[in-house]
Amino acid sequence: MAVSQLRSIRNWERQSVSLNVSNRVILAVEARIGAFARLHAVSMTVSASSNPSFRRRIAVAGAGVIGLSCAFELARRGHAVTCFDGGDVRRTTSWAAAGMIAPAYEMYLHGGETGSALNELSFESARLWESFAPAVRQVSGMPVGYSNAPTLAVAQSSEQRAGLRALQAALREIGHTAYWIDRERAISRLGLSARVDAVLELTSDHQVDNRRLLTALRTGLRNLGGAVVSHHIGSLEDASRLGGSAPFDAIIWARGCHERGVTRHVKGQALALHPVEGMPAEVVRFGSGYIVPKPDRIIIGATSEATYSHPGVDAAAIEALFRSACNIVPGLRTARRLESWSGLRPGSVDAAPIIGQHSDREFVATAHYRNGILLAPATAQRIADMVEGKPSSPRAESFSPDRPAIATV
- The residues that bridge with 292 in the sheet, in sequence order, are 299
- pLDDT category, 36, cuts 50, 70, 90? very low
48 in a structural domain: no
Pick the more confident residue, 366 or 35: 366
94 in a structural domain: yes
Q: Specify whether 79 is located in the same domain as 132.
A: yes
Q: Specify whether 60 is located in the same domain as 123.
A: yes
Q: Specify whether 170 is located in the same domain as 281.
A: yes
Q: Does the pLDDT at position 16 exceed 60?
A: no
Out of 191-205, 217-231, 312-326, 387-401, least confident range: 387-401
Q: Residue 322: name the closest of 339, 305, 306 by CA.
A: 339
Q: Specify whether 303 is located in the same domain as 374.
A: no
Give the model's pLDDT for residue 210: 97
Q: Residue type for 403, please?
A: R
Tell me: the pLDDT tens digits for 233-265?
999 899 988 887 689 999 999 999 999 999 999
Q: Cα separation of 280 and 290, whole Å?
A: 12
Q: Specify whether 228 is located in the same domain as 258.
A: yes
Averaged pLDDT, 177-188: 94
For 113, list phi and psi in degrees, rounded to 5: -65, 130
The domain boundary, picked from 312, 346, 380, lies at: 346
Q: Indicate the number of domains in the chain.
A: 2
Q: Specify whether 153 is located in the same domain as 98.
A: no
Tell me: the pLDDT tens digits for 39-94?
443 444 444 344 545 799 999 999 999 999 999 999 999 999 999 999 887 778 89
Number of C-alpha atoms within 13 angstroms, CB side, residue 83? 31
The pTM assigned to this predicted structure is 0.88
Q: Specify whether 63 is located in the same domain as 130.
A: yes
Per DSSP, 335 falls in state P
Q: Cα separation of 107 and 175, whole Å?
A: 14
Helix (H) or strand (E) holding 407: helix 404-407
3-state secondary structure of 118: helix
Q: Residue type for 205, please?
A: D
SS (H, E, C) 4-23: HHHHHHHHHHHCCCCCCCCH
Considering the chain, what percentage of its residues have pLDDT values greater than 90?
77
Q: Specify whether 268 is located in the same domain as 298.
A: yes
46 in a structural domain: no
Domain that residue 241 falls in? 1-14+24-39+55-146+207-262+348-409
Look over the chain and give the mean of its residue pLDDT values, rounded to a whole number: 88
Pick the more confident residue, 394 or 347: 347
Give the model's pLDDT for residue 34: 47
CATH code (residue 176): 3.30.9.10
3-state secondary structure of 377: helix
